[in-house]
Amino acid sequence: MRILVVNVNTTDSITQAIAQQARSVAAPGTEIIGLTPYFGAESVEGNFESYLAAIAVMDRVLAYDQPYDAVIQAGYGEHGREGLQELLNVPVVDITDAAASTAMFLGHAYSVVTTLDRTVPLIEDRLRLSGLDQRCASVRASGLAVLELEEDPARAVEAIVRQAELAVTQDKAEVICLGCGGMAGLDEQIRQRTGVPVVDGVTAAVTIAEALVRQGLSTSKVRTYATPRPKRVVGWPMRQGR
């Protein structure tokens, strides 16, 4: 089985970290292919960047010319999943949904700890649209930008732990979701520090993608995610312009 794990930003080192995290949980026989979009922001922390990432991810996946069995969109709270679902016949798993869905098997309520405060409403909105917000106790910001996570992992752990503890004690969360693809690999440390299960969206998404493939399940094509109607589209794929 081959799973494409697509980063939402154009920073290759993050793609590598995400792919490595994905491989850490992949079943024997599952091949993980990490993909970096050809265009977009070096980190995605807002709506403009996220919308740009939406089409950059679609563009990158369509440009991949080998067979694959599932696609993981590895951005937390980002736009675009529905477009991929229309364009592809294989299952598409967004790490925001994957983490929330997994967390709900582990506790009565979960919280997300993410990067900057400005990304909190994006995550809240995506969870609302996905219908996975009913047991979300809170989405909290660590105050660290995406690229800062990589620069100083120790500081990142501290900032995340601080918010995770507040989520548990004040918001009554029983599970923590790491709300950024760039937090890949920090779950174990944070679990030890907080004493509650910590869900990493990337590993959650890998297991869900594998599960869907093994069950022979993929996106329903009867209505919302039907293949786009044939029509004149100007300027797509955009990479033709490069």
Site for a second copy in 30-59 (CB under 8 A): 38-43, 45-52, 54-56, 58
Report if residue 115 touches a second copy, rule: CB under 8 A. Answer: no
Q: Name residues contacting a second copy, limited to 130-169 (CB under 8 A).
A: 130-135, 145, 168
Angle at 236 between CA 230 and CA 240, to 5 degrees: 135
Of 135 and 162, CB closest to a second copy: 135
232 binds a second copy (CB under 8 A): yes
Candidate residues 13, 121, 152, 155; the one interacting with a second copy per rule CB under 8 A:
121
Neighbours of 109 (CB within 10 A): 18
- Between CA 161 and CA 168, with CA 162 as vertex, the angle to 5 degrees is 85
What is the nearest approach in angstroms of a second copy to the Cβ of residue 46?
Answer: 5
180 closest CA partner among 209, 147, 207: 147
Give the distance, in angstroms, between the CA of residue 70 and the centroid of all CA atoms in the same chain: 14
Stretch that binds a second copy, among 15-23, 156-164, 178-186, 211-219 (CB under 8 A): 211-219
Instruction: Give yes or no for residue 241 binding a second copy (CB under 8 A).
Output: yes
Among 67, 89, 105, 154, binds a second copy (CB under 8 A): 105
Count of residues near a second copy by CB under 8 A: 92
Q: Which CB, 33 or 116, lies closer to a second copy? A: 116
- How far from 16 is each of 48, 93, 136, 185, 234, CA to CA, in Å? 24, 19, 29, 12, 33
Euclidean distance between the first and the last CA atom of the chain, given in angstroms as a whole number = 32
Q: Measured from the CB of residue 6, what is the shortest distance to a second copy in angstroms?
A: 14
Q: Which residues fall within 8 angstroms of residue 7, CB to CB, at 6 or more apart?
A: 14, 15, 18, 34, 35, 36, 37, 74, 75, 181
Q: Of the listed pieces 15-23, 94-102, 152-160, 177-185, which binds a second copy according to CB under 8 A?
A: 94-102
Stretch that binds a second copy, among 15-23, 102-110, 152-160, 178-186 (CB under 8 A): 102-110
